[in-house]
Amino acid sequence: MKYIIDMIDDIRENIQNSYDYTLLAMLLKEDSLENFQNVGVKVITSLYVDHDAKQLQLGFFDENVTSKELLECVNSLEMKAMMYEVMIKVSNEHPLMPIIGFGDNHKEKQYTFFVIS
């Protein structure tokens, strides 16, 4: 489980708060040997802060979201919101899922959120 503050620290450290990274969700599944396998990657196109659930929800509505919009959104939040959980809805068949980690690909300018199915 990751929180907004974890994400902000990772973005600052690993992509230096760059505004031009595409956001991705990578769905991982644990195999019989307890190794994680990539079972799908999808571009994140929407974000929503749910103050009642204390969550930053990332999803796939028809919008245009990059690291710029993500950083502008979280930088405008009050300090208490930094402990909101970061969640992803990978499809209508899946419930909101907690983020387990982050990754980046500087060559492709991609920032990835990892979730386990």
Please report the pLDDT score of residue 106 as a whole number.
96
Residues in Cβ contact with 107 at an 8 Å cutoff, skipping those fewer than 6 apart: none
Strands 85-88 and 55-59: parallel
Tens digit of pLDDT for each residue in 64-88?
899 999 999 999 999 999 999 999 9
On the CB side of 36, how many CA atoms lie within 13 Å of its CA?
A: 11
Residues comprising the chain, all counted: 117
The string of DSSP letters for 23-51 reads EEEEEEEE-TTS-EEEEEEEE--EEEEET
**pTM as predicted:** 0.91
Spatial separation of the C-alpha atoms in residues 5 and 20, rounded to whole Å: 20
